[in-house]
Amino acid sequence: MIRKMQPAQPTLIVCGHGMVAQRFLEELVGKAPIPYRNIIVFNGETSAAYNRIQLSALLSGDTDEQSLALKPDSWFARHGIKIHHGESVRAIAPASKTVTTSTGEVYRYDALVMATGANPTRLGIPGETLNGVMNFRDLNDTRSLIELSRRRQRAVVVGGGFLGLEAAEGLKRRGMEVTVLHRSGHLLNRQLDADSGKLLCDALTARGINIRTSTSPTRLLGRDSVRAVQLDDQTLISTDLVIIATGITPNRELAQTAGLACGRGIQVNAQLQTSAPGIFALGECCEFNGETFGLVEPGYQHAKTLATVLAGATEGAAYEPSVTATRLKISGIPVFSCGQQAPDQHTESLVWQDFATGSYSHLLVRDNQLVGAILVGNTSQGPWYQELIIGKANIDPFRAQLPFGKPFCQAAA
């Protein structure tokens, strides 16, 4: 049956309730007046939006589930937002402006926002369906990993990116023997250079985590449950648990089935509008000018832009990609990365390293402008470097002092 909505009460439906969807809702209700009297959110998870960034702290035992909530139930009630937990949108009919949910209910909408996020990328190797092969993506994954860590001794984490390293650290702190497999030559290869990646590897090895770079699994072995990982050099690693953390794939299937234009993600314009009138997308599921998004900061920018658009200011609102920084803390080791990460024939490198403290700085310069910054250990100057990169500032007056930070540069200038 179709839910009857009063014509005088325009309805906004949001598919998904992650961090970006929640930020969008907050931005929207902050506008006045709100053009939608009915705001309905279909949340495929059983919990309201929570801080996914803190899942690693939950796995490590440094926080509890209650601290992850972004807003209390009273906030949604106060703003008249109806959330359907554990109920997702299964089909969209753009012509009739309706959605069908997983419970079979049909709802009309005036505007539809797709915030369906992304799924973990699969390895595509034999054995992925064995028991004990997990992802580290959401709250349910984290709960399962905590429970399994009480009964199992060894874990292999496939992927040396942020999530993989956080999973490794969390399981290590819960008493497991952990091995990390990474196909690149150094850890965090999308954020760090080879030297800083080695520094991080050495620090994690000193903490008792086994690291194997330049290697990939070719098969997961076991009868019902995973018992070993076979590597591309035919090495076998015995294990009781495998966590796959090799990236994400935008959830585009719902949009694709509805006839919306999709590439790797759901294609949108600068107003976050899809190819169908009245349907928008933001966050990890969308694609803008051929780019998809795996970090939360661009998603927050999407949320701000889309809230402005749906509040009626369509002429002045447009998403413009900006230089965003990656700020991470791996096993207590701060990492900062912004702009270009690898030198090329047009850049010069300013490298500074303090062997006593383990701090490392690699600044990439082109035409007297800072175009990239990689910091490990002491990252306090990261925000200032980001300002220089965004502002395309002339660093020539203080080039020699640049690796030492803003106070030295100001004194030199």
Class of domain 325-412: alpha beta
Do 144 and 39 contact (CB within 8 A), yes or no? no
Give 218-260 pLDDT, tens digit per residue.
999 999 999 999 999 999 999 999 999 999 999 999 999 999 9
CATH 3.10.20.30 fits 11-119+248-310, yes or no: no
Cis, peptide link before residue 298, omega less than 30° from 0 = no
First-last CA distance in the chain:
70
**pLDDT confidence of 7, banded at 50, 70, 90?**
very low
CATH 3.40.50.800 fits 133-244, yes or no: no
Report the pLDDT value the prediction gives residue 290, as an integer from 0 to 100: 93
Q: What percent of the chain has pLDDT over 70?
A: 97
Distance between CA atoms of residues 22 and 262, nearest Å: 24
What phi-psi label fits residue 110: left (phi over 0), alpha (psi between -120 and 50 degrees) or beta? alpha
The rounded mean pLDDT for the chain is 92
Q: Where are the domains of the chain?
A: 11-119+248-310, 133-244, 325-412
User: Would 133-244 and 325-412 be classified into the same CATH topology?
Assistant: no
Q: Cβ neighbours of residue 410 under 8 Å, at least 6 residues apart?
A: 398
Q: Cβ neighbours of residue 124 under 8 Å, at least 6 residues apart?
A: none
Average pLDDT over residues 329-333: 83
Lowest mean pLDDT among 104-118, 214-228, 321-335: 321-335
Do 286 and 250 contact (CB within 8 A), yes or no? yes
pLDDT at residue 120 is higher than 90: yes
SS3 213: strand
Average pLDDT over residues 66-81: 94
Neighbours of 205 (CB within 10 A): 12
* Phi, psi for residue 89 in degrees, rounded to 5: -85, 125
Distance between CA atoms of residues 236 and 254, nearest Å: 39
Q: What's the farthest any 2 CA atoms get from each other in the chain?
A: 72
Distance between CA atoms of residues 139 and 234, nearest Å: 34
Token look-up 């999308």 returns 190
Residues in the chain: 413
pTM above 0.85, yes or no: yes
Distance between CA atoms of residues 252 and 25, nearest Å: 21
